């Protein structure tokens, strides 16, 4: 190799080294240059299964990046190309590309929420899950029994088995995961309240307590009245008197209920008609909250067997049928004031 060739080769190597050094310097500068979104806070989402290139494009489309290419190069050089985590994120101020990379590889998510309300039926829970845009809808085509199987819940019905609460989850989280958490929380709370129950209740199992609690949830107008409402039903169960509660009849009517409970509905026998059948219905009729579960297992000390709505959100409780009839006349018939 002659001297000219050597000089050219050395020059080329030096030029390459210089280019690499310049590129490295530029990339180091880029990594620490603040990105300033046009608006803050700026939310953006990375879809499940997104590659590094696709994730960078999603961030650029949302306004988190000016151009995706330098960010992709930075992530590849730092060995983070395979560590992108799908989810919902938020930028609340200036952030460097390096900080943004750490955010999406460490899973610094913002979280979505969904709330299950006390007294809801399982149908209402399913509707709420189906309508939530951040939930992955794995149950949409499943029957209720299929859902129970997927969740490994050995119960005849899903009704009542999910605890009413607000649940936080990352965008794209499965509805099955949310239901699993809600069921686990119901199990824990029911077991804890069962251990604190008063003695000699006419309730043999935690499941019967759950059924009674669901009726209390639907029948109670004011929270402080729950123990008294519970006392009425416990007293009736104790003496073999029918519960005669409208919410169970309505639940048994299902889709045929049009919002108006008629006399014929009260006379038509179904497994949930507590006017025609003694004891508890076969399943819960709604999702009870902790206060209703506690009331079912710790009713007030009362001899009341009846109650009637007074029209102001509260109820009048009576020990005898005569007293109850007078209360009905006063609050719901011609004698109402």
Residues 251 and 240 in one domain: yes
Residues 225 and 239 in one domain: yes
Q: What is the CATH number of the domain that holds 96?
A: 3.30.1490.480
Give the global pTM.
0.74
The answer to whether 328 and 244 are in contact (CB under 8 A) is: no
Question: Is position 218 within any domain?
Answer: yes
Residues 74 and 165 in one domain: no
Single out the residue in 137, 161, 190 at which a domain terminates: 190
The answer to whether 288 and 210 are in contact (CB under 8 A) is: yes
pLDDT by residue, tens only, the chain of 337 residues: 566 666 656 555 555 665 666 667 777 888 899 988 888 788 888 887 889 999 999 999 999 998 999 999 999 989 999 999 888 888 888 899 999 999 999 888 777 889 999 999 999 999 999 999 889 999 989 999 999 999 999 999 999 999 999 998 877 889 999 999 999 999 999 999 999 999 999 999 999 999 999 999 999 989 999 999 999 999 999 999 999 999 999 999 988 888 888 999 999 999 999 999 999 999 999 999 999 999 999 999 999 999 998 888 899 999 999 999 998 988 876 544 3
Q: Could you write out the DSSP letters of every residue in 33-72?
A: SPB--SSSSEEEEE-TT--HHHHHHHHHHHTS-S-HHHHH
The answer to whether 134 and 195 are in contact (CB under 8 A) is: no
Residues 100 and 62 in one domain: yes
Residues 236 and 145 in one domain: no
Single out the residue in 90, 110, 130 at which a domain terminates: 110
Residues 207 and 303 in one domain: yes
Residues 250 and 287 in one domain: yes
Distance CA 236, CA 234 (A): 5
DSSP helix/strand/coil, 231: helix
Residues 80 and 136 in one domain: no
Single out the residue in 161, 190, 219 at which a domain terminates: 190
Residues 148 and 234 in one domain: no
| Count of the separate structural domains present in the chain | 3
Tokens of 298: 């710790």
Question: Is position 304 within any domain?
Answer: yes
Q: Could you write out the DSSP letters of every residue in 184-204?
A: HHHHHHHHHHHHTPPSS-S--
User: Which residues constitute the domain of residue 256?
Assistant: 199-332
Residues 226 and 295 in one domain: yes
Question: Is position 47 within any domain?
Answer: yes
Residues 318 and 255 in one domain: yes
Residues 117 and 212 in one domain: no
């Amino acid at each position: 190799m002659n001297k000219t060739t050597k000089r050219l080769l050395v020059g080329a190597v030096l030029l390459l080294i210089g280019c690499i050094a310049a590129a490295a310097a530029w990339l180091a500068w880029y990594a620490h240059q603040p990105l300033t979104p046009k608006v803050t806070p700026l939310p953006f989402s990375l879809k499940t299964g997104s590659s590094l290139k696709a994730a960078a494009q999603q961030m650029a489309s949302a306004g988190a990046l000016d151009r995706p290419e330098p960010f992709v190069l930075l992530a590849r050089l730092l060995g983070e190309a395979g560590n992108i985590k799908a989810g919902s994120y938020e930028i609340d101020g200036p952030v460097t590309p390096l900080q943004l990379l750490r955010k999406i590889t460490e899973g610094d998510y913002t979280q979505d929420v969904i709330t299950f309300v006390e007294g809801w039926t399982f149908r209402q829970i399913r509707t709420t899950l189906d309508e939530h845009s951040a939930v992955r809808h794995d149950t949409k085509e499943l029957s209720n029994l299929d859902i129970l199987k997927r969740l490994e819940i050995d119960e005849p019905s899903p009704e009542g088995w999910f605890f009413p609460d607000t649940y936080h989850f990352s965008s794209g989280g499965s509805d099955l995961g949310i239901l699993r958490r809600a069921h686990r929380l119901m199990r824990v709370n029911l077991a804890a309240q069962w251990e604190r129950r008063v003695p000699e209740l006419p309730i043999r199992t935690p499941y019967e307590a759950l059924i009674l609690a669901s009726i209390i949830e639907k029948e109670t107008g004011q929270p402080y009245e729950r123990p008294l409402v519970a006392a009425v039903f416990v007293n009736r169960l104790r003496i073999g008197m029918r519960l005669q509660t409208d919410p169970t009849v309505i639940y048994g009517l299902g889709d045929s209920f049009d919002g108006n409970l008629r006399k014929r509905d009260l006379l038509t026998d179904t497994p949930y008609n507590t006017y025609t059948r003694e004891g508890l219905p076969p399943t819960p009729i709604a999702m009870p909250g902790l206060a209703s579960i506690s009331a079912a297992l710790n009713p007030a000390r009362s001899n009341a067997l009846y109650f009637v709505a007074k029209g102001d959100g509260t109820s009048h409780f009576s020990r005898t049928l005569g007293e109850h009839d007078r209360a009905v006349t006063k609050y719901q018939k011609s004698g109402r004031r």
